[in-house]
Amino acid sequence: MQCRQLTIEDMEAALEINEQGLPGTGRVSLEELTDIFSLSELAIGVFEQGILRGFVLCLLPHTRYGSLNYAWFNQRYDSFLYVDRIAVDHNHRDKGIGSRLYQKVIEHAAKHTRPVTAEVSLRPPNPGSIRFHLRHGFTEIGTFEQGEKAVTMMLRSID
């Protein structure tokens, strides 16, 4: 498997993988996903024989991105690398793809001395994602309630 920067041509495949991760990844249109990609500091995919199997999109603080979860971190931190979404094709989960993507995220954040931030759904629950983030050195730093939805806010400190 090969890891590389995503391109605009990868967005349709990324959208398909994103849809497989619902509700945890959050529903977006192709236009919205392409816009998030355009704002991303880091946009990496893992490919197998040229086919996208997983991806991650990360943003720096203070972009025009309108996510309330992203705004929560902007209100509390001056510097971070925000994981907007990480998703792996459902037929390729438990093969280390997510860990490989997070290795790249953590390396990038460390190079620029930024903590990594992310949120994981509590309502509806996503216990697998919470375990995944804890396994990669994240700690829970808060809860953000949004009506019927709630997320745990997570941070991975600078090594």
Number of domains in the chain: 1
User: Domain of 80?
Assistant: 2-114
- Total residues belonging to the chain: 159
pTM of the model: 0.93
Query: Within a domain: residue 138?
Result: no
Structure tokens of 7? 């391109």
More confident residue, 25 or 111: 111
Residue 127 lies in a domain: no
Rounded-to-integer distance, Cα 83 and Cα 92, Å: 20
Band (126; pLDDT cuts 50, 70, 90):
confident
Looking at residue 24, what is its pLDDT?
A: 62
15 domain residue, yes or no: yes
Question: Is position 64 within any domain?
Answer: yes
> Residue 67 maps to which CATH number?
3.40.630.30
Whether 131 is in a domain gets the answer no
Contact yes or no for 38/20 (Cβ under 8 A): no
**Interatomic CA distance for residues 60 and 130, integer angstroms:** 22
Give every CB contact of residue 56 below 8 A, 6+ residues apart in sequence: 42, 43, 44, 83, 85, 86, 87, 101, 102, 104, 105
pLDDT tens digits along 99-113: 999 999 999 999 999
